[in-house]
Amino acid sequence: IPRPKLNSRNLHLPLTSFCNAARTKFHSNDSNLVLRDLSKSGRIEESRQLFDKMPERDKFTWNTMIFAYSCSGRLADAKQLFLRNPIKNTISWSALISGYCKYGSEEEAFGFFFREMQFDVRIPDEYTLRNNVTWTSTLTGYSRNGFAYKASECFRDMRREGNQPNHFTFHSVLIACGFCSRVWSSAVQVHGCIVKSGIKTDIFVQSAVIAMYA
């Protein structure tokens, strides 16, 4: 019996069909796409069943499932999966911290992320880079959930600790500041920081600067 081709057009098929197909390496990329579509449609339990059946999980697989839990408010499940993730990256941190900022405690978010990132030996970067990832992920979480003041505070603290913002950091804080008049002075300071740093900005940072002054 031929296996069903995995795609978003046949999500009505029984999940067992996808799980059986997902067991083969040939279908690994398609499995990721179905996992994404299932999670986007709110079918979290089915997403997890498919996730568990996949013989190979790449960064996309792990991050998609963490996002699914985080966006649905299932922070305990998101945290558990995050801690199991052997290939976590900036997107993994952003996925989890967004959930904490939206559904959980801000203080708990800070405590967890700084503690875990500091002692996470599975990230083979220097401590400074790991710290940059932590700051940027935290800032992005605040920005995405409308906490402009917290995002600007996070940016100031990041620089005070001697960490160098990157394109992603600048973009996130500019977007946050652009939607809140209370932190307008901070937005101008961020723009000044970009100019002084001499960093070559990309189209996203440039667009954020334009939107901020619009």
State which residues form the domain around 190.
149-214
The pLDDT, as a whole number, for residue 51 is 95
185 part of a folded domain: yes
CA angle in degrees (0–180, nearest 5) for 84-70-180 = 130
131 part of a folded domain: no
7 part of a folded domain: no
204 part of a folded domain: yes
Contact 180, 148 (CB under 8 A): yes
210 part of a folded domain: yes
Q: Alpha helices, DSSP H only, in the chain?
A: 15-22, 28-40, 44-53, 59-71, 75-84, 90-103, 106-119, 127-144, 148-160, 167-178, 184-197, 203-213
What size, in residues, is the chain?
Answer: 214
Residue-by-residue pLDDT tens, the chain, 214 positions: 344 444 445 554 445 545 555 555 445 678 898 899 999 999 999 999 999 999 889 999 999 999 999 989 999 999 999 999 998 877 787 788 778 877 766 667 666 766 665 545 444 444 455 567 777 777 877 777 777 888 888 888 888 888 888 877 888 888 877 666 556 567 677 888 878 777 766 677 777 777 767 6
91 part of a folded domain: no
192 part of a folded domain: yes
181 part of a folded domain: yes
What are 187's two structure tokens? 């937005």
Rounded-to-integer distance, Cα 51 and Cα 61, Å: 7
Question: How many structural domains is the chain composed of?
Answer: 1
pTM of the model: 0.58
Collapsing DSSP to helix, strand or coil, 193 comes out as helix
